[in-house]
Amino acid sequence: MDILETDAYDRRQRRATSVFLFLSLLPFFLSSSAYFYLWIPESSPSVFAAAVKSIPVISLAAVVLCYQGGRSLWGVAGGLLFSAGGDICLIWHEMFIYGLTLFAVAHVLYSAAFLSHRYSPAPCSCTSVFLSIPLWLLGAGVYFYMYPNLQKQEDADVITLAVAGYTLLIVTMATLAVRTHRPSTFLGSLIFMVSDLSLALQVFKMIDQAPAGRAVVMTTYYLAQLLIAVGDVTADGDKGGGLGKRKRM
């Protein structure tokens, strides 16, 4: 097969892959739309509310598992499932610390995935360092801004340490995402930080809790998880396997 035929075949493969990926993501788009349509008040926690909130992320985990197999349970698919568990816990305010713990595990799994050979993380460079510095400044700045209010919470010692540890993990995850040099992965991690920091400012009474604030948190959260999932699905494709180029001889 000559070069022109190979290029044409590759383009057809990429188009077919994009269409199939979009169709695979339809459950996510439908379930996340259902969440915003129903918009169950936070004052009415229930098993139904927990299901409506968590199904979009569970559907993303199913997509990643479909493409990457069981190995992704120790990476992005596992992170998505733990995130869904965190979503369920956060429906009930008294389970906040459990939700925080599950999301922390999710970030550990995301970080492990970004370090894997599938992502081929680039060596630490001046560009990576330059892009990572604002992330650490943002994380540290928001934490110290919240610190006085954290000290006013019940079990202040536990909450203060838990939030500090969580902040460290999410910023580390975003820093490792920078090293992958994958726009979807990096943007997803950055938006995840914005979503979680916005949520923290509301939970710990640094800003008023309003419907618009919740909408911002959930919109950015679902977008972040979508980008991270798509980045993982296409990771092999960029290197010529999985969803990417398959040359015919």
113-158 pLDDT, tens per residue? 999 888 876 566 666 777 789 999 999 999 999 999 999 988 899 9
pLDDT of residue 7: 59
Tokens 């977008």 label which residue? 223
Residue 177: how many CB atoms within 10 A of its CB? 31
- H or E segment to which residue 171 belongs: helix 156-180
CA 218 to chain centre: 12
Instruction: Output 196 or 12, whichever has higher pLDDT.
Output: 196
pTM of the model: 0.88
Angle at 80 between CA 74 and CA 85, to 5 degrees: 110
pLDDT of residue 12: 61
The secondary structure of residue 103, as a DSSP letter, is H
pLDDT grade, residue 248 (50/70/90)? very low
On the CB side of 19, CA atoms within 13 Å amount to 6
pLDDT at position 229 over 60: yes
pLDDT of residue 154: 86
